[in-house]
Chain A
Amino acid sequence: MQKLLATIIKDIRILTRDKLGLIFMFVMPIVLAIVITAVQNSTFEILNKNKVPLLLCNKDTGRAGIDLVKAIDKVGMFEIKTISADQDQAQISERMHAKDAVVAIIIPADYSSKTEARCKSIASKALKNFGMEVDTVRSGHDSLQPITLLYHPVLQESFRHSMNGALKSALQMVQSRLVLKNLYYSLNEKELPDSLENQILNNQVEINEIPVSRDGSRSIPNATQHNIPAWTIFAMFFIVISLGGSVVREKLSGSFVRLKTLPTNYFLALVSKQITYLLITLLQVAVIFSIGIWLFPHMGLPKLILPADITGVIIVSLICGWCAVSYAICIGVFAQTQEQSNGVGAVSIVLMAAIGGLLVPSFAMPQSFQFVMKLSPLHWCLEAFYGLFLEGGKLSDIMYNILPLLGITGFFQLIMLYGLKRKNLI
């Protein structure tokens, strides 16, 4: 026990004197967690709270054009800046380059007349299908000009799709109103009353959004709940830089020769490193979670809400930490130089983070990556943490994530022992 204690103290002393290693283990993941949460949070706020500046050029003077502008405004997603109708596409693009807005809509001059003609035609066809006598109306299908949507290239595809959907919804609203008015007029030979129009068109069934949680809580997941667990796992595995390097340094340094001539098995040194760095990973969890809980609200970011099952969080942190430590020692045992350990370690962690769903959500992975994803220990760590943080699960609910993680950790331990034995180190 005295030997183990002395080894742990030695490892902690060396670790605390390795400034670069400490930066990699603590500062880098904290910065990553803050920056990425802030970025994702602002994207979330753009979509849900803030309005997107939109240049609107209505070249049409008719009623449908005005209704369309009102419908776009009603979507609630845009801060509309109306611009003069005589501006052409090139001038509008110029204003967008000057960052006046990231989106612009051009309504063509004949939008009202063509839309009205088309809607009249649709209404006539509908009445004819009911067997009613109606005036023959020329179809307006052939000459309807499209609405132009200009967007700044910085806009992400998902955001563009979201805007496109909103615009289509506004167009549908205008057309539905016109078809309805035409039908009503044909049947009753008088205008559709506003009250009835409102009842028919603005009486949609509401969508009630509920996050699916195991504990029945209805807290809406936010960027913090997603990012803090993800970047904590990344930080835990990034100890490969410090721990892998420490094993290689020890192997290459003269101290290793001395250790091999003393009446103690080198395995004890590895047990000590596992305990020391496991404590470090737990400290990383405590520091990053604390920042999420206490610092984020002061930075205008959502607060991290800890799950109800704190024991589960501790156990998952321990297992994730042990897996990260086992992987780092494996790298250290097999690497010939510190450069090899740092290079292979860092690149492999970024790759495992990417395929494990830390950078791209796992459900968005292509089918071909679904199997590879399951080989990444970071995937199982993330799923276990998300099971607690996002789904409100208990430890028993995430057992199917913990067991594969323990399996991978066991595999790393066996590989490590094999490497040590093969190199005659134990």
Chain B
Amino acid sequence: MSLTAVSIDNLGFSYPGQDKPCLRNLCLEIGAGERFGLFGPNGAGKTTLMNLMTGLLNIQEGHIKLFGQEVSRHQLSIRKLFGFIPQELSFYRELSPVENMAFFGAWAGMDKKQIRDKTTELLEVLGLSEVRHKQVEKFSGGMKRRVNLAIGVMHNPRIIFLDEPTVGVDVHTRHAIINYLKALNSNGTTLVYTSHQLSEAEDLCDRIALIDEGRILAHDTLENLLESHREEGLEGLFINLTGKKFRDN
């Protein structure tokens, strides 16, 4: 039997002052080593779910377990298990990639040698070796995204949560990021991924969940979903399940 990486049971969450709950009775399981995509329109609850899985928000109802450990109970120890690549660039712009990785690596519990080796390896793979000592502030959007990814994966986490990791980057950077994620996954790392780029999902994810108004509308492999809803592509499936109404008004 394959190991469960993420287990979500009856999860509910409301932001203070809002009438409608953001997430309602949400149940989901993600297996270890999976490439799992979370998709939905703006305001569907994807980022909230991501923040609850990573402990950035406190769980109000239900349970989330990462590799069998309750997120709300083992906050510090559970953080060693996952890496998080938030949508927002999450590093110190005043520092260089090497300086950022030295700091975040130490906070992730790595020793100096591990940090040095992993920094060299990641900067090489992500094409940042030549600018390793330059301040990130002066980097292009794509380079900053690659630094963001490098910091998030440097401590070899068992599961990586990626919240729109390729937003606003050019084709080359997107290609590099997707390829690197696939390489990580081939070594057993579980990926939980959100994006607006449906084509990326088709390329990257083994299994997807469509989420809207705090509920999971459907979740399965892409082939099964397309077949059961008689759609040819993910975009058609997306519109079919979530409707055509604008969600960010």
Interface residues of A (CB under 8 A from B): 2-3, 5-7, 9-10, 13-14, 17-18, 253-255, 257-265, 424
Partner of A13, one of B86, B90, B95, B111: B95
Q: Is the CB of B90 within 8 A of A14?
A: no
Q: Is the CB of B55 within 8 A of A261?
A: yes
Q: Known contacts A2-B112, A3-B107, A13-B99; is A258 also within 8 Å of B56 by CB?
A: no
Q: Please, which residue of chain A has its CB at the minimum distance from the CB of B55?
A: A261
**Given the complex of chains A and B, what is the CA–CA distance between A14 and B137 in angstroms?**
12
B94 within 8 A of A: yes
- Taking residues whose C-beta sits less than 8 angstroms from the other chain, chain B's interface range is 20 to 34
Partner of B54, one of A13, A259, A261: A261
Q: Is the CB of B99 within 8 A of A10?
A: yes
Chain B nearest CB, measured from A160 CB (Å): 54
Q: Please, which residue of chain B has its CB at the minimum distance from the CB of A10?
A: B103
Q: Known contacts A2-B106, A6-B106, A13-B99; is A260 also within 8 Å of B56 by CB?
A: yes
Q: Please, which residue of chain B has its CB at the minimum distance from the CB of A263?
A: B79
Partner of A3, one of B79, B94, B106: B106
B121 within 8 A of A: no
Interface string of B44-67 (1 = CB under 8 A from A): 000000000011101000000000
6 CB < 8 A contacts A-B: A6-B103, A6-B107, A255-B92, A261-B55, A261-B84, A264-B76
Interface string of B115-158 (1 = CB under 8 A from A): 00000000000000000000100000000000000011000000
Q: Is the CB of A2 within 8 A of B111?
A: yes
Q: Known contacts A261-B84, A262-B107; is A254 also within 8 Å of B91 by CB?
A: yes
Name the A residues within 8 Å of B82 (CB-CB).
261
B77 within 8 A of A: yes
Q: How many A-B residue pairs have CB under 8 A?
A: 80
Q: Which of B91, B103, B107 has most chain A Cβ within 10 Å?
A: B107
Task: Say whether chain A's binding surface is mostly helix, strand, loop, or mixed.
Answer: helix
Q: Is the CB of A255 within 8 A of B90?
A: yes
Q: Is the CB of B104 within 8 A of A258?
A: yes
Name the A residues within 8 Å of B55 (CB-CB).
260-261
Chain B nearest CB, measured from A261 CB (Å): 4
Chain A nearest CB, measured from B104 CB (Å): 7
Chain A nearest CB, measured from B6 CB (Å): 15
Name the A residues within 8 Å of B106 (CB-CB).
2-3, 5-7
Name the B residues within 8 Å of A254 (CB-CB).
86, 88-91
**Given the complex of chains A and B, what is the CA–CA distance between A13 and B108 in angstroms?**
20
B80 within 8 A of A: yes
Name the A residues within 8 Å of B102 (CB-CB).
6, 9-10
Q: Please, which residue of chain A has its CB at the minimum distance from the CB of B152?
A: A258
Name the A residues within 8 Å of B77 (CB-CB).
263
Q: Which of A3, A261, A265 has most chain B Cβ within 10 Å?
A: A261
Name the B residues within 8 Å of A424 (CB-CB).
58
Name the B residues within 8 Å of A261 (CB-CB).
54-56, 79, 82, 84
B168 within 8 A of A: no
**Given the complex of chains A and B, what is the CA–CA distance between A17 and B84 in angstroms?**
27
**Given the complex of chains A and B, what is the CA–CA distance between A5 and B91 in angstroms?**
18
**Given the complex of chains A and B, what is the CA–CA distance between A253 and B89 in angstroms?**
8
Q: Which of A7, A264, A265 has most chain B Cβ within 10 Å?
A: A264
Q: Beyond A2-B111, A254-B89, A260-B56: 12 further Cβ-contacts under 8 Å?
A: A3-B107, A10-B95, A10-B103, A13-B99, A14-B92, A253-B90, A257-B88, A258-B86, A258-B151, A263-B80, A264-B76, A424-B58
Q: Please, which residue of chain A has its CB at the minimum distance from the CB of B103?
A: A10
Q: Please, which residue of chain B has its CB at the minimum distance from the CB of A17?
A: B94
Q: Is the CB of B94 within 8 A of A258?
A: no
Name the B residues within 8 Å of A5 (CB-CB).
106
Near A by CB (< 8 A), chain B positions 145-197 give: 151-152
B109 within 8 A of A: yes
**Given the complex of chains A and B, what is the CA–CA distance between A9 and B100 in angstroms?**
11
**Given the complex of chains A and B, what is the CA–CA distance between A177 and B109 in angstroms?**
91
Q: Known contacts A3-B106, A10-B99, A254-B86; is A263 also within 8 Å of B76 by CB?
A: yes
Q: Please, which residue of chain A has its CB at the minimum distance from the CB of B82?
A: A261
**Given the complex of chains A and B, what is the CA–CA distance between A259 and B80 in angstroms?**
12
Chain A nearest CB, measured from B46 CB (Å): 16
Q: Please, which residue of chain A has its CB at the minimum distance from the CB of B81?
A: A263
Near A by CB (< 8 A), chain B positions 23-63 give: 54-56, 58
Q: Is the CB of B107 within 8 A of A259?
A: yes
